[in-house]
Amino acid sequence: MSEDKEKISAWLDDAIPSNELDSLEVDHHARSFSTVARYQMIGDALRGRVPDASMIDISARVSEAIKREAEITSTARPAAASRREKAPLFDFGAWLRPVGGLAVAATVAMVMVVTLTDQQTETNSPVAANVAQQPVQSMPVSNTVPAYTQPGLAVPAVNLNTYVRQHSEFAAQDTIQGMMPYARSVSYGSENNPPSNKAIENRQILIIPRQ
Amino acid sequence: MKIGAAAFLAFAVLNQAPAHAGNLSDIVSGMSAADKRSNYEGIFVLRKSDKMTSMHVVHGVDDRGVWESMEALNGEARRIVRHNNEVVSIYPDRKLVTVSKMGDKRGLHPILPENLDRLANYYTINQAGEDRIAGRATSVLDVKPKDAYRYGYRYWLDDETRVLLKCDLLDENGAIVEQMMYTAFYNHADVPPTAFNVPELEEYTRKTLNEGAARQADSNWRPGRMPQGFMLTQSTERSDEGRNTLHLMYSDGLASVSVFIEPVQSSTHRLTGASNMGALNAYGRQMDNMQITVMGEVPEATVVAIAESMERLR
């Protein structure tokens, strides 16, 4: 995982071509996405590519960035030390560590710049204020999103038909597209893996033939 | 001040419409209202990735609400008859008829046209000329997202009824990920009530399963990060054989994202990582012995970001 982080970081800094990322062992359970997102943010800040967008809860972001960078440095060191013994030719970890402190500063700087360039986007509309929920940190309006997946990842087959049906039926109520969600729901039955009888029967009410 | 800015932005966007094609606001509002006032029948094709489905649809409105029949014309025989929030699914080959009752669950937020001005914050809406679909004159709307966390849309709306006759769903690169288009469309003054008959109901016996009805639920789960404009529209809980599943629905008015949360040990939906079916992206992970599955007709980045940021308030 530590090597993965270093590769991601090097790629974001244009130090390695993107196809080298194919060797990444992406951990889908947890950290890969947040790692890439964090490194993307740091890399963008270092290169001055700061998105013109608004962010929410800036103080929380600053403290979170500092906390996360502390975690990165503390967890990366043992792995890097271990790797040095096996691969003395080139040590990405040794290259990365001095950047850590700078990255924290750069992240903070980026957040400050974003604050200054905040020109847009109303997020707390009167309608939104009616929702009884905790405030949610909105993601910035940006046309770039971090890369987080690798092609060819093996995803086990999971029957999501019940979820898809419930999603489609609720979506039809909350969007303006009328029958489109229902049409999608019907069309899912023509996929290669049509819903099983068991999946169909897992509905609120089932009507079965008379004996 | 912010409300004023948003209103001005919406006003500026909406006034880009050429006068001859009607007011853009009216067109979009008409699209939203067409579902509740139109009687029509037609055949359309739905293309997702490399798969195509053809359907016969009948849509009608009477004093009891909205009726709709949708019958797939290829693949396994199946038909959906919808009456307001009740959906009857018929699988003739399996001799199965199922009924899904959504109950009277109004969304937590009004949809269009009441909330039309919100769309201008997250999409750029322009008229893109006129076209002819299923032999009828249409106005084309181009709806481009302002960020990479939602898809774009291109709508062809019937000039007479404002019914959606063609729809392209565009990914973050502008590539079409889903297409719907009518090949035949007939506007009716009235739709015969027999169009919505379900003869199978006469022959089959109804049995109620244990799955509990969805009920409104307060949740202590929330996404730590959410693309701007998506608001919680539904929060329901469903009990099935002792297993509780929480369903949170977020929408920006066009796109919808569902978050399903249930105990890992009893979950039959243990998705780990990303998956997709056409325009629908899904991402699953486990956290605190709970299975979290996020899905929606949005880019993969969106479902991943939401799933990875889900947290439980203590």
Confidence of residue B121 (pLDDT cuts 50, 70, 90): confident
Enumerate the residues of chain B whose CB falls inside 8 A of the CB of residue A143.
147-148
**B65 CA: distance to closest CA in chain A (Å):** 14
Q: Could you tell me which residues are beta bridge partners of residue B205?
A: A208
Q: What is the pLDDT of residues B266-283, one digit of tens each?
A: 777 778 888 887 788 999
Quick one: A165 and A108 in the same domain? no
Q: How far apart are CA A4 and CA A25, in angstroms?
A: 7
- Concatenating the DSSP letter of every residue in B191-217 gives --GGGG--THHHHEEEEE-SPPPPEE-
Give domain status of residue B209, yes or no: no
Q: Specify the residue for token string 């404009």.
A: B229
Phi and psi at residue B273, in whole multiples of 5°? Answer: 95, -160
Q: Looking at the partner chain, which of B2, B94, B275 has a beta carbon nearest the beta carbon of A122?
A: B2
Query: Cβ contact (<8 Å) for B167 and A200?
Result: no
Mean pLDDT lowest for which of A64-73, B128-137, B213-222?
A64-73
Q: Looking at the partner chain, which of A33, A163, A194 has a beta carbon nearest the beta carbon of B304?
A: A33
**B20 CA: distance to closest CA in chain A (Å):** 24
Tell me the one-letter amino acid at B279. A
Confidence at residue B115, expressed as pLDDT on a 0 to 100 scale: 61
Tell me the one-letter amino acid at B58. V
- Please, is A56 exposed, middle or buried when counting C-beta atoms within 10 Å of its C-beta (0-12, 13-18, 19+)? middle
Which of B103, B165, B173 is closest to B135 using CA atoms? B165
Tell me whether A95 touches chain B (CB under 8 Å).
no
Residue positions counted in chain A = 211
Q: Could you tell me which residues are beta bridge partners of residue B197?
A: none
Give domain status of residue A9, yes or no: yes
Confidence of residue B167 (pLDDT cuts 50, 70, 90): very high
Quick one: B140 and B8 in the same domain? yes
Quick one: A24 and A106 in the same domain? yes
Give the end of a domain, one of B157, B181, B202.
Answer: B202
Contact status, residue B278 vs residue B151, Cβ threshold 8 Å:
no
Quick one: A181 and A87 in the same domain? no
Q: How far apart are CA B254 and CA A79, in angstroms?
A: 46
Contact status, residue A210 vs residue B205, Cβ threshold 8 Å:
yes
Which of B90, B54, B89, B93 is closest to B76 using CA atoms? B93
Query: Cβ contact (<8 Å) for B232 and A179?
Result: no
Give domain status of residue B298, yes or no: yes
Helix (H) or strand (E) holding B273: strand B273-277
**A145 CA: distance to closest CA in chain B (Å):** 7
Give domain status of residue B208, yes or no: no
Q: What is the dihedral of CA B11, B17, B23, B26, to 10 degrees?
A: -80
Choose between B73 and A25: higher pLDDT. B73
**Average pLDDT for B132-139:** 96
Query: Cβ contact (<8 Å) for B269 and A155?
Result: no
Query: Cβ contact (<8 Å) for B211 and A204?
Result: yes
Q: For B213, name the nearest residue in chain A, comparing CA atoms only.
A: A204
Is the predicted pLDDT of residue B287 greater than 50, yes or no?
Answer: yes
The angle formed by the CA atoms of residues B203, B209 and B215, to the nearest 5 degrees, is: 120
Which of B297, B295, B267, B298 is closest to B287 using CA atoms? B267
Quick one: B194 and B219 in the same domain? no
The encoded tokens of residue A65 equal 């960035």
Query: Cβ contact (<8 Å) for B3 and A183?
Result: no
Structurally, chain A folds into a number of domains equal to 2
Choose between B312 and A102: higher pLDDT. B312
Enumerate the residues of chain A whose CB falls inside 8 A of the CB of residue B207.
205-208
Quick one: A99 and A191 in the same domain? no
Give domain status of residue B42, yes or no: yes
Range of the domain at B29: 2-202
Is the predicted pLDDT of residue B286 greater than 70, yes or no?
Answer: yes
Interface list for A 178-197 with B (CB within 8 A): 178-191, 194, 197
Q: Looking at the partner chain, which of A29, A183, A203 has a beta carbon nearest the beta carbon of B70?
A: A183
**A83 CA: distance to closest CA in chain B (Å):** 28
Q: How far apart are CA A141 and CA A53, in angstroms?
A: 6
Is the predicted pLDDT of residue B84 greater than 90, yes or no?
Answer: no
Contact status, residue B140 vs residue B128, Cβ threshold 8 Å:
yes
Is the predicted pLDDT of residue B310 greater than 90, yes or no?
Answer: yes
Give domain status of residue A28, yes or no: yes
Confidence at residue A137, expressed as pLDDT on a 0 to 100 scale: 58
Quick one: B145 and B223 in the same domain? no
Quick one: A102 and A31 in the same domain? yes
Give domain status of residue A127, yes or no: no
**Average pLDDT for B53-68:** 88
Give domain status of residue B207, yes or no: no
Tell me the one-letter amino acid at B236. T
Confidence of residue B179 (pLDDT cuts 50, 70, 90): very high
Give domain status of residue B210, yes or no: no
**Can you give the three-state secondary structure of chain A, one letter per residue?**
CHHHHHHHHHHHCCCCCHHHHHHCCCCCCCHHHHHHHHHHHHHHHHCCCCCCCCCCCHHHHHHHHHHHHHHHHHHHHHHHHHHHHHCCCCCHHHHHHHHHHHHHHHHHHHHHHHHHCCCCCCCCCHHHHCCCCCCCEEECCCCCCCCCCCCCCCCCCCCCHHHHHHHHHHHHHHCCCCCHHHHHHHHHHHCCCCCCHHHHHCCCEEEEECC
Q: Specify the residue for token string 């490399």.
A: B50
Quick one: A44 and A93 in the same domain? yes
- This prediction has a pTM of 0.61
Structurally, chain B folds into a number of domains equal to 2
Residue positions counted in chain B = 314
Tell me whether B187 touches chain A (CB under 8 Å).
no
Quick one: B249 and B177 in the same domain? no
**B238 CA: distance to closest CA in chain A (Å):** 10
Tell me whether B154 touches chain A (CB under 8 Å).
no
Choose between B205 and B121: higher pLDDT. B121
Confidence at residue B89, expressed as pLDDT on a 0 to 100 scale: 79
Tens-level pLDDT at each residue, chain A (211 residues): 445 555 545 544 445 454 444 444 444 444 444 445 444 544 444 444 433 332 223 334 434 544 544 443 333 333 333 333 333 333 333 333 444 444 443 333 333 332 222 223 333 332 222 333 444 556 655 555 444 443 333 334 456 777 887 787 777 665 555 667 767 766 665 443 444 554 444 443 343 433 3
Quick one: B223 and B299 in the same domain? yes
Which of B303, B20, B46, B65 is closest to A181 using CA atoms? B46
Confidence at residue B116, expressed as pLDDT on a 0 to 100 scale: 67
Tell me the one-letter amino acid at B90. I
Confidence at residue A116, expressed as pLDDT on a 0 to 100 scale: 28
Mean pLDDT lowest for which of A65-69, A107-111, B19-23, B228-232?
A107-111
Range of the domain at A168: 161-201
Give domain status of residue B171, yes or no: yes
Q: How far apart are CA A76 and CA B60, in angstroms?
A: 63
What's CA A25's distance to the chain center, in Å?
Answer: 16
Give domain status of residue A174, yes or no: yes
- Concatenating the DSSP letter of every residue in B7-58 gives HHHHHHHHTTS-GGG--HHHHHHHHHHHHHH--EEEEEEEEETTEEEEEEEE
Q: For residue B33, what is the domain's CATH number?
A: 2.50.20.10
Interface mutation vs chain B, best among A138, A190, A196, A200, most B CBs within 10 Å: A190
